[in-house]
Structure formats: structure tokens, C-alpha cells
A and B are shown apart, each in its own frame.
Chain A
Amino acid sequence: ETGVTQTPRHLVMGMTNKKSLKCEQHLGHNAMYWYKQSAKKPLELMFVYNFKEQTENNSVPSRFSPECPNSSHLFLHLHTLQPEDSALYLCASSQAGTGVAEAFFGQGTRLTVV
């Protein structure tokens, strides 16, 4: 256990569906991240939340919508996805502002878009 929990572990959704991924950290960290890991481009940083404020959006399409209601929870809302969005979505947390950005990862959600 890394202290970062992601649900669900697996998700299959159609291109017209709306679903959400959930991440919860029990480490008292103040920064949370979404990464996309696929065979073609492993570990792409998607979003960064620092003290609940979004500080990074790496040109992610609007069909991915993050939400960070507090420093312990992070969501990724999905709608009208494409098959190429199938990937492993990883959440991570860290203690920002220390200069030592050790990130703790969850086990990921394996997303398949059909």
C-alpha cells in the first residue's frame, strides 16, 4: 500500500458514456497529479493540483475534466472518449514546495474505451 487509492481498478466504457475516476491519498500531501500511461507514450503528465488549485494542464482534451474538492481527493471526469484514450490512468501525490518532489502512485485505473 502506497497510501494512494484509486477506484475503479478497471473500467470499460463506450464512447458516449460518462464516467469518473477517483483518487484518494492518506499521506497528508498537498499536491495531486493525473498521469496517463499508454504503450506509445508512457507516463504523460496530464494535470497538477497544488493546494487544490490546478497549476498544470498539459494540453489535455476537454473530454477529460479534473476535479479536486480537497487536498485528499482527486477526480477525473470522462465523457465522449475515443478509443485512443484507452490507457492506464495513474494518480499520484506529493508534498509540494519542499524541493523534493517524491511522488507516491496509486495502482491505476485500466481504462478501455470501446
Chain B
Amino acid sequence: GENVEQHPSTLSVQEGDSAVIKCTYSDSASNYFPWYKQELGKGPQLIIDIRSNVGEKKDQRIAVTLNKTAKHFSLHITETQPEDSAVYFCAASSGRDDKIIFGKGTRLHILP
């Protein structure tokens, strides 16, 4: 089955700087890669996603890149703000069974 590895587990960046979180996956059939943000006391919420037919996608300060050959994808947050502090999860899914397999999460701290 699919296995998703996520690094780092904790990340601290100065406000205004960029943050990068990286994930790898094992199942070459995976074709959908969502990223979720989980704030304290809430369930994970989708912030951006990418399909395997696209190499990069951007939404304001958030971007995701995908390298299918290397089976890795990354989340980039630019001009970080205090409200970006949260736990971020990457995930992978194939069209076969619609299961979403999550990475272990990255706790992002934005330092003032």
C-alpha cells in the first residue's frame, strides 16, 4: 500500500520568511496530492492540492510542486504570517480506491 513520508516534523521560521515542507510517496499509481492545515482544536482543512498531470500549482502565498519521477512533492509558503502557525499534513491518493494516506505532519511555528 501507499506510504507517505513527511519532513521536517517541526519547523520554525521568522515571520516574513519562507517555509518549505517536503513529502515523498511510494505508490506510483498515486495521482492526487492534497495538503491540509490543522489548527488547534480543529480538524484538518484542505489548503491546496495538485494532480499528477501538473508540476506546480500556486494560490497566493502557497505553492505546491510535484516531481512524479522522484515521487516527491513540496509545500512552499512565502511571506509567512503568524496565522500560518499550525500543523500541516501532506497526503497521497490514487483513483483506485479514493483512500487518502497522510504523512505524519509538520508543526510550523512562525516566530515574531
Contacts and interface: CB of A to CB of B under 8 A. Distances in A.
Interface residues of B, number: 23
Most chain A beta-carbon contacts within 10 A, residue among B32, B44, B98, B105: B98
Q: Which of A2, A4, A103 has the largest count of B CB atoms less than 10 A from its CB? A: A103
Given A2-B45, A90-B44, A103 B104 contact: no
Q: Is the interface of B mostly helix, strand, loop or mixed?
A: strand
Interface in B23-82: 31-32, 34, 36, 41-46, 49, 51
Contacts of B85: none
A41 B103 CA distance: 10
A45 B101 contact: yes
A4 to B, nearest CB: 8
A104 B99 CA distance: 13
A104 B45 CA distance: 7
Interface string B99-110: 111101100000
A80 interface: no
